[in-house]
Amino acid sequence: MEANARHHNATQVAVFAKAPVPGEVKTRLVPLLGARDAAELHATLVRRALATARNSGLGPVSLWCMPDAGHPFFAACAAEFGASLHEQRGGHLGERMARAFDRLLATGPALLVGSDCPSLGVEDLRAAAGSLVTHDAVFQPAEDGGYVLVGLSRPVPGLFERIHWGEATVMRDTRSRLREAAARWREMPVRWDVDRPEDYRRLLASGLLGEAGR
């Protein structure tokens, strides 16, 4: 029990986020909200993801920034949530996640989440971290066919390769990569994220915007 608890508590939590620049984030919500309000919503969701990571009580929290870590928003987040700042490096999303995990796994198991899933809570992160005690990988699939959380306890070769990022086949193709690598993985309950106007209306109805990353 004590060994499992140490493994669980040492799990790092990394958050991937873009700088909240109007017109460059939440673009599918711009027709509904306008570029500035869409960027403000993005910033709110990033802060919520960081609060959830911190409140989970797991390991160190890191914020992986795009296009770089120079935006003042990132510095403010680092100060508020005690997160270390890193730049996302690489071309497509899979390459950027692979490079982040190369660094993260050097010091232990890690979870990586985006900032688009406000329904992802503290208990989800704790359950995912617990899964890494006995599994190579853990995923929280998304309703749109992707996933909102990925965790690894060890490197899984080829995991982020040959994936059509942004398509509804992401989780399906990821399962194929996991099988090819003979990895043992767990999938957690499906979650929804916020990308489209109907997602935003769902977010408003959920009341999650008024909660602080629980």
Over the stretch 6-48, which tens digit does the pLDDT of each residue have? 445 589 999 999 999 999 999 999 999 999 999 999 999 999 9
Q: If residue 168 lies in a helix (H) or strand (E), which one and from where to where?
A: none
Q: Is the pLDDT assigned to residue 2 strictly greater than 60?
A: no
Place of tokens 């399962």: 175
Judge contact between 35 and 22, C-beta under 8 A. yes
**Residues 66-80: tens digit of each pLDDT:** 999 999 999 999 999
The CATH number covering residue 206 comes to: 3.90.550.10
Q: Quote the pTM value.
A: 0.93
Residue 211 has pLDDT above 70, yes or no: no
| Residue 30 domain boundaries | 2-210
Say if CB 188 and CB 127 are below 8 A apart.
Answer: yes
The amino acid present at 30, given as its one-letter code, is: V
- pLDDT per residue as tens digits for the range 171-208: 999 999 999 999 999 999 999 999 999 999 999 999 98
Task: Indicate the residue type of 37.
Answer: D
Show the CA angle centred on residue 48, arms to residues 199 and 208, nearest 5°: 50
Quote the CA–CA distance of 24 and 73 in Å, as a whole number: 15
Say how many domains are in the chain.
Answer: 1
